[in-house]
Amino acid sequence: MTPFGRKVRELRKTRKISQKQMAKDLGVSAAYLSALEHGHRGRPSWALVQQIITYFDLIWDNAEDLEELARLSHPKMSIDTAGLSPEATKLVNMLSRNIHRLSIDEINQILRFLEKKGDLS
């Protein structure tokens, strides 16, 4: 599940809206919405994110937060390390091979470290 998918599911469940109903209201298939929530589809389009913001009547910070979650929710990333140090290439490769072995606490430690470095999106 992606951060965006988790948030959409949370909003939907809080408002007691079924996936099928939301999909119908947005003009997408329930299968697509399910895949988006579970992270089996790529990052949603800007237009769909805006539809969802409107659908849930999100304003200001909540709307910006959902847009940011969408930007950070691409389940399949490709990182070009050409021109970077050998250590940077090693880091990317090791993370790719080992991310499934990291605990949620370890992942959160890495996230906190990177967030201290500034906006990396």
In the chain, what are the domains? Answer: 3-71 (1.10.260.40), 77-121 (no CATH)
pLDDT profile of the chain (121 residues), mean per 10? 91 95 96 91 90 95 93 81 91 90 94 81 49
Its pTM stands at 0.69
* Contact between residue 70 and residue 39 where contact means Cβ atoms under 8 Å apart: no
Q: What per-residue confidence (pLDDT) applies to 2?
A: 86
pLDDT score, position 71:
86
